[in-house]
Structure 1
Amino acid sequence: MNEFKEFKRTQISEMRKVSDKDINIFKNHGFIHISEYPFGNNISISDADKNNGSPKIGDMIARNPKDYSDQWLIAEQYFKDNFERSNQAE
């Protein structure tokens, strides 16, 4: 029996592009720190994404709009398959 069910997103997501700086920090330290928060607040990157070479250019970093310290990586292909620009985006 599959416990996973389909859910549709109902809110706008806040995201930014992965930068060369992010990649260099990850290569040197093994994590990407969220600079606006105390040390230990890092961007979550799944083992599956790390095994596929992330973080890399084309990936996105999402954040919880109600808690900016909650940030995670979204792989490029997943982003392309599941997100589009909001009318509210600049």
Structure 2
Amino acid sequence: MSEFKKYRRKQIAELRPFVEGEILPEKVSISKADRDGGSPKIGDMIARNPINHDDQWLVAKQYFEDNFELFE
């Protein structure tokens, strides 16, 4: 197995908030760890690939808060 290394992101990410009661389409990937943690839930974000909008995944609330800030 290869060694993990730290990388900084170079691009702007596209995210939107998860809405309470929302039924996420199958195209939104949710990791087992996030599902086991109760996601999707309020505070989580849905990210998408800016080139392929069908490529979407859930970003857990705490990870989002620790790693993202609004770019305007």
TM-score range, shorter chain: over 0.9
- Separation of aligned partners in 1, 2:47 and 2:9: 14
Partner amino acid, structure 2, of 1:51: D
Match of 1:49?
A: 34
Instruction: Report the Cα offset of residue 20 of structure 1.
Output: 1.5
Structure 2, unaligned stretches of length 5 or more?
none
The alignment covers a number of residue pairs equal to: 72
Over the matched positions of the two proteins, sequence identity in percent amounts to 56
Match of 2:62?
A: 77
Structure 2 length normalisation: TM-score?
0.92
Partner amino acid, structure 1, of 2:9: R
Structure 1, unaligned stretches of length 5 or more?
26-31, 34-40
Partner amino acid, structure 1, of 2:31: S
Partner amino acid, structure 1, of 2:61: E
1:47-80 deviation digits (Å, cap 9, x = unpaired): 0000000000000000000000000000000000
- Separation of aligned partners in 1, 2:27 and 2:2: 32
Choose 1 or 2 for highest CA Rg. Answer: 1
Runs of 4+ in 1 over 2 A off after TM superposition: none
Higher helix residue share: 1
